[in-house]
Homo-oligomer: A and B are copies of this chain.
Amino acid sequence: MGTLVGKVVIAQGGGPTAVINQSLVGAVLESRKFPQITKVYGAVNGVRGIINEDFLDLTMETTNNLEKVAITPGAGLLSTRDKPDVEYCKEIFRVLQAHDVRYFFYIGGNDSADTVRIVNEQAESVNYEFRAIHIPKTVDNDLVINDHTPGFPSAARFVAQSIMGANLDNRALPGVYIAVIMGRHAGFLTAASSLAKKYEDDGPHLIYIPEHPFDTEEFIREVDSVYKKLGRCIIAVSEGICDKDGTPIVSKLMSCVEKDAHGNVQLSGTGALGDLLADMIKEKLNIKRVRSDTYGYLQRSFMDCVSNVDAQEAREVGEKAAQFAIWWNIDGSIVIKRKANYSVDYELVNLADVAGKTKTMPADFYDLATKNVTDKFYLYGRPLLGASFPQPHRIRAPRVAKILNKTH
């Protein structure tokens, strides 16, 4: 066992997820077991809470309440969008040092990993004995080296179930249905819309991800083709889709159709992209019933749609952070590795290997010709959804012979 005596500070950064509190609680409870840990502090509002010395004493929190917080979505310690530069990181380190903090765990995406890396460099530069661990989190699933990241599986479960419901609804009252799904650069979550497919004609029939340029004319042709074949069409599209010049479609369409200006290019928290695509389909294909839903913040915060696989893994990456830092006395970023079908293991890699880098969907997960995912993606995604994934059923009764046999 390591012998570095001092406090732990833990914080949460970036967008909350359904399971980010599992990681928090995993790290807190594991840290509280070690005699050399003098206190476990939680920084309120991420790194901003550190520079403001806004700490909660988590050694004074009951295990029972921590377990309840663990199953609550959202960031229990609250979050921040601050992206610290070197000066900001120096300030973080100054506060941590003043409080005799020796262990810093930061739960977040690749920006958070970079913050951990810079703060750790500050400690090294003054020979302050200090352990810093980045704990992975992001619904976008875009952290390199990781097979997947905590938060993504539960968001994927929500998206898959949402599209399952949209399928049932759209089959009962046919038309074109567009689901706009989170994902600025990586199409994983949009691709997850395919994971609930059961019947042959189930949607999504077309999937558009940010990894490939979006061509509006091709899009219209593809929707037309599906609609002519099935009498309906379900489309899953990433909020971050761009044209071949890298211009987000949401801003491009807004300039070419007559609509009120929606201000800055904002991807989440607006229905603009879905509405613009719907208007285009109505206009160009003359289809009347075209609907769009933007899944928005529900994707990352819905309490009753959590993948148990995700919850367990999120808990474990938190626990592992404490173990690597306190038992092993080393720094790094926790990564999830997949072992066969399906189990995972956790490794610690260099902070610089994860910091600031973005992973996109592997090419063999997506078929550009059919605008759909491949079997490889199904094998990848299905185990992540967790247990008790619901199954829709259809009536299979035979048709009755007509008597009047009129044509209406």
| Interfacial residues, chain A to chain B (CB-CB below 8 A) | 12, 15-16, 39, 41-42, 51-61, 65-66, 68-69, 71-81, 94-95, 98-99, 161-162, 164-169, 171-173, 177, 253, 255, 258-260, 262-263, 268-272, 274-276, 278-279, 282, 288, 290-298, 300-305, 390-400, 402-406, 408
Do A169 and B301 contact each other (CB < 8 Å), given the known contacts A293-B296, A397-B56?
yes
A161-B406 Cα distance, complex, nearest whole Å: 48
Nearest opposing residue in chain B for A303, CB measure: B390
Q: Kindly list chain B residues whose C-beta atoms are within 8 Å of the C-beta of A290.
A: 269
Please indicate which of the listed interface residues A78, A167, A173, A255 has the most CB atoms of chain B within 10 Å of its own CB. A173
- A73 B269 Cβ-Cβ under 8 A: no
Checking B94, B95, B295 against A298 with a beta-carbon cut-off of 8 angstroms, the contacting residue is: B295
Q: Kindly list chain B residues whose C-beta atoms are within 8 Å of the C-beta of A173.
A: 15-16, 75, 78-81
Checking B42, B295, B404 against A397 with a beta-carbon cut-off of 8 angstroms, the contacting residue is: B42
Q: Kindly list chain B residues whose C-beta atoms are within 8 Å of the C-beta of A74.
A: 165, 167-169, 171-172, 392
A253-B253 Cα distance, complex, nearest whole Å: 17
A302-B166 Cα distance, complex, nearest whole Å: 8
Nearest opposing residue in chain B for A169, CB measure: B301
| Shortest Cβ distance from residue A84 to the other chain B in the assembled complex, whole angstroms | 13
- B291 A69 Cβ-Cβ under 8 A: no
Checking B55, B61, B274, B288 against A400 with a beta-carbon cut-off of 8 angstroms, the contacting residue is: B55
A275-B51 Cα distance, complex, nearest whole Å: 35
Please indicate which of the listed interface residues A68, A177, A282, A293 has the most CB atoms of chain B within 10 Å of its own CB. A293
| Shortest Cβ distance from residue A91 to the other chain B in the assembled complex, whole angstroms | 8
Q: Kindly list chain B residues whose C-beta atoms are within 8 Å of the C-beta of A66.
A: 395
Identical copies of this chain, number: 2
- B294 A271 Cβ-Cβ under 8 A: yes
- A278 B282 Cβ-Cβ under 8 A: no
A69-B398 Cα distance, complex, nearest whole Å: 16
- A270 B288 Cβ-Cβ under 8 A: no
Nearest opposing residue in chain B for A67, CB measure: B393
- A297 B304 Cβ-Cβ under 8 A: no
Q: Kindly list chain B residues whose C-beta atoms are within 8 Å of the C-beta of A269.
A: 177, 278, 290-293
| Shortest Cβ distance from residue A39 to the other chain B in the assembled complex, whole angstroms | 8
Checking B161, B255, B297 against A291 with a beta-carbon cut-off of 8 angstroms, the contacting residue is: B297
Q: Kindly list chain B residues whose C-beta atoms are within 8 Å of the C-beta of A12.
A: 172
Checking B52, B274, B405 against A271 with a beta-carbon cut-off of 8 angstroms, the contacting residue is: B274
Nearest opposing residue in chain B for A305, CB measure: B304
- A169 B73 Cβ-Cβ under 8 A: yes
| Shortest Cβ distance from residue A135 to the other chain B in the assembled complex, whole angstroms | 16
Q: Kindly list chain B residues whose C-beta atoms are within 8 Å of the C-beta of A405.
A: 53
- B98 A395 Cβ-Cβ under 8 A: no
Closest 9 CB pairs of A and B: A271-B271, A74-B168, A269-B291, A165-B301, A293-B296, A68-B393, A75-B172, A55-B400, A56-B397
Please indicate which of the listed interface residues A51, A169, A259 has the most CB atoms of chain B within 10 Å of its own CB. A169
A66-B393 Cα distance, complex, nearest whole Å: 9
- B300 A69 Cβ-Cβ under 8 A: no
